[in-house]
């Protein structure tokens, strides 16, 4: 059975405190990276992007329709102006002038119809532009929120990294003060069991959280103070002290 002075075994609890803190910080970092709000907001951003593409496409379609409508009106206006100039000049036969008057009247009606259509398309463009701007504003706000949450996550991770470096440095310095054999036993137990050392406090193992059976407790009590004993449930090193009632 491994042996180490009781004072040396007691100091294992300080080493375990550092290792427990490192594990805690690792869990905190994992939780910060897995923040469900980040995934939720990122999903909203993706949905907003799709909605924005649809709104932008709708606006582009409406603007294209408006350009086509404006071109049609302009073509009629150009032809009408030309015919009116010819009609006002009075040149041509009576038959030609009568036909020209008829065409001017037809073009005037056509222009009126096309201008009505153009007005409808303009209204559609304005509605599409307003809708696109509204989606853009919501998308910008969602992205801003995502940046805020990401920034908070990064700050939290930076804090955790700084604290982890500090704890790790203290742990490394403390580890250097232990007998190599005892340290190797502790670290092997830590790697295998998840806990390297814990108190035996009034018959209760703080490694397992369980009250030891009378038989196990009797065996541990009979062991010499410098003998390294283990928790029968968790497998970690049990650190004993008369002050703890063990």
Answer yes or no: is 1 within a domain: no
**Helix extents (H) in the chain:** 6-33, 36-89, 94-175, 180-193, 214-222
Q: What is the mean pLDDT of residues 69-96?
A: 85
Answer yes or no: do 96 and 164 share one domain.
yes
* pLDDT tier, 246 (very low <50, low <70, confident <90, very high otherwise): low
pLDDT in tens, 158-201: 999 999 999 999 999 999 999 999 999 999 999 999 999 999 99
Retrieve residue 225's tokens.
Answer: 């103070």
Instruction: Report CA 101 to chain centroid distance, whole Å.
Output: 70
Residue 49 and residue 134 in one domain: yes
pTM recorded for the entire structure: 0.73
Tens of pLDDT, residue by residue over 128-169, are 999 999 999 999 999 999 999 999 999 999 999 999 999 999
Q: Is residue 30 part of a domain?
A: no
Q: What is the pLDDT of residues 30-61, one digit of tens each?
A: 999 999 999 999 999 999 999 999 999 999 99
- Domain range for 201 is 6-24+179-244
In a domain, 29, yes or no: no
Question: Within a domain: residue 198?
Answer: yes
Count of the separate structural domains present in the chain: 2
Same domain, 45 and 165: yes
Do both 68 and 109 map to the same domain? yes
* Torsion from C-alpha of 8, 14, 17, 23, nearest 10 degrees: -70
Q: Are residues 144 and 191 in the same domain?
A: no
Same domain, yes or no: 81 and 18: no
């Amino acid at each position: 059975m491994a042996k180490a002075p009781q004072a040396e075994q007691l100091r294992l609890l300080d080493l375990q405190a550092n290792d427990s803190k490192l594990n805690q910080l690792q869990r905190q970092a994992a939780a910060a990276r897995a923040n469900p709000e980040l995934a939720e907001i990122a999903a909203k951003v993706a949905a907003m992007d799709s909605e924005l593409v649809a709104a932008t496409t709708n606006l582009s379609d409406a603007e294209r329709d408006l350009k086509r409508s404006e071109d049609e009106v302009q073509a009629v206006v150009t032809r009408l102006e030309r015919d009116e100039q010819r009609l006002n000049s009075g040149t041509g036969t009576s038959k030609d002038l009568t036909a020209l008057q008829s065409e001017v009247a037809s073009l005037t009606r056509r222009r009126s119809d096309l201008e009505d259509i153009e007005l409808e398309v303009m209204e559609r463009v304005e509605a599409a532009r307003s809708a696109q701007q509204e989606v853009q504003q919501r998308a910008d706000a969602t992205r801003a929120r995502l940046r805020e949450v990401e920034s908070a996550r990064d700050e939290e991770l930076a804090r955790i990294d700084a604290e982890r470096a500090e704890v790790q440095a203290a742990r490394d310095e403390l580890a250097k003060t232990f007998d190599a054999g005892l340290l190797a036993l502790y670290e092997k137990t830590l790697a295998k069991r998840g806990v390297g050392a814990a108190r035996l406090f009034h018959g209760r193992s703080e490694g397992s959280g369980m009250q030891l059976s009378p038989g196990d407790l009797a065996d541990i009590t009979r062991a010499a103070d410098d003998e390294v004993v283990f928790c029968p449930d968790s497998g970690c090193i049990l650190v004993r002290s008369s002050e703890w009632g063990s």
